[in-house]
Chain A
């Protein structure tokens, strides 16, 4: 079964850091670009970051550029998102999602990040 499982979310103070992980199974992880998408409570979907299959092409939304880092380990079949200098507006459920091309066909269940003092 094709599956993505996120972990690492939690409560963090403003200015703090957190590392999210996404473990993939059931498919050839190294063949796909991967993404992080977030959803603030009661709001819509916001693309956060993308990384190509080899990790050589990386992009970020302007809202997180310079604060978040994306990486992947194709041996461990895992995707990561390092969140730094966190703000209240970063509070959201963070989903990892697979991209065959220009859409996202497999999504994890998400991990919740709350930034609050």
Chain B
């Protein structure tokens, strides 16, 4: 099973700043794609990025995803107040299980 590690655990930033969130897989899997989700308190997760770099419908272009092999990154170019949330990476190797990372919390500095 591919174990995902996210870092940092918490990112303290101010609106307008750039956020760089990392996700590292324990092994380079046959399917190279990573997905990213945003979750706000009391809400369901929301898909942001799929296929490593494709934005889901309605996701602002300040969100971008990059990466390959075992290292993947979600970047928020300029934080808006509504972006303060927990972000999860997720990998799927072609058959279950789906694997989620432990999450990175982006909070106000």
Contacts and interface: CB of A to CB of B under 8 A. Distances in A.
Interface residues of B, number: 26
Contact of B96 (A44, A47, A97, A103): A47
B31 A47 contact: no
Contact of A45 (B33, B45, B47, B56): B45
A32 interface: no
Interface size class on chain A is 20 to 34
A45 B95 CA distance: 18
Contact of A102 (B33, B44, B102, B103): B33
- Residue of A37, A61, A102, A107 contacting most chain B CB atoms (<10 Å): A102
22 contacts: A35-B98, A37-B45, A37-B98, A37-B100, A44-B88, A45-B45, A47-B97, A47-B100, A59-B96, A102-B31, A102-B33, A103-B33, A103-B35, A103-B47, A103-B51, A104-B35, A104-B90, A104-B98, A105-B47, A105-B50, A105-B56, A107-B45
Interface of B: 31, 33, 35, 37, 39, 43-47, 50-51, 56, 88, 90, 92, 94-103
